[in-house]
Copies of this chain bind each other. A is one copy, B any other.
């Protein structure tokens, strides 16, 4: 027997915590436009919920013309669309803030992309009708648990302003990469809100509620809020749109290279428009070089691969940086926008390598 063929070499999720399960993607090893479920980062607030699928119904209530209750069968029969979407945890790259912030120490892999298929949320809201004076759509998940800071049990729930809820690409999804959504990612139904950080894309959708006020759940008023000051909560504002960002996938930070030809490559993404330019620097930001954006048929709300052919002629240490600019002219800052809870990190990405 030759067992030497049995040694597949593959990356795994990187475990941050198990209860709740928070594991991140080894983003440096990801390629292609479909991410394997096994490498899709997992971000939870609570234990996994228990759902009964046999009599699953989705209620739409509140300020509606008529309350309705949809079966999965009902939803599958409605017109659908499929969109390529980046889901990025707003805490992605949190570990890079200086000074350090507390909370899950995500490195660069709390991000995914894939194809989500579902029905437009606006289609569902047309069925129920939206009452006059309606202001926000609250979506609640089946996941719940105690918040020790408030000493009370909460479901995971958040609202969207009407305009965002009615955006044609805000969908209630039932497929991920042409398969039923994996349980850990929200089976049977997940709200997908392209261009917003992924705390908005609620898993295991339990109900939809139309309200005429501003929703004040803790996952909107306490968490997922930018607090720019360490000592107080002044100037706070909510986390919504994904910042323009990029990540170097290759080489690895602190990698030892040799002289000759090498390739620097990575991904870039934004929550507004599309990536227009990706520059790299191999001299710590003194000079910037344009990279090749990989042509894609339909990037949609996905990320953009980029690469740069680097000819290394001299030994020594190099600081490599990547800087994305989107079609709205937003560009990655040199210094991250520090905030107490560590959301939305998007400073110019950087790594160090040594050439021997």
**Contact pattern, A 224-256, Cβ under 8 Å of B = 1, otherwise 0:** 000000000000000000000000000011111
Q: What distance in Å separates the Cβ of A305 from its nearest Cβ neighbour in chain B? A: 18
Report whether A15 and B29 are in contact in the complex, using a CB–CB cutoff of 8 Å.
yes
User: How many angstroms from the CA of A183 to the CA of B6 in the assembled complex?
Assistant: 8
Q: What distance in Å separates the Cβ of A236 from its nearest Cβ neighbour in chain B? A: 17
Q: What distance in Å separates the Cβ of A259 from its nearest Cβ neighbour in chain B? A: 10
**A255 nearest in chain B by CB position:** B102
Number of interface residues of A (CB under 8 A): 51
The answer to whether the Cβ of A17 comes within 8 Å of any Cβ in the partner chain is yes
Report whether A9 and B18 are in contact in the complex, using a CB–CB cutoff of 8 Å.
yes
Report whether A356 and B149 are in contact in the complex, using a CB–CB cutoff of 8 Å.
yes
A10 touches which one: B16, B18, B100 (CB < 8 A)? B18
Q: Can you show 30 pairs from A to B with CB atoms below 8 A apart?
A: A1-B54, A2-B50, A2-B52, A3-B183, A4-B48, A4-B183, A6-B183, A7-B48, A7-B183, A9-B18, A9-B48, A11-B15, A11-B18, A12-B13, A12-B15, A12-B23, A14-B14, A14-B26, A15-B29, A16-B252, A100-B254, A102-B317, A102-B352, A102-B354, A103-B254, A103-B256, A104-B254, A105-B252, A148-B258, A149-B356
Report which A residues bind B (CB closer than 8 A). Answer: 1-4, 6-7, 9-19, 21, 23, 26, 29, 48-54, 95, 100-105, 148-149, 183-184, 187, 252-256, 258, 317, 352-354, 356
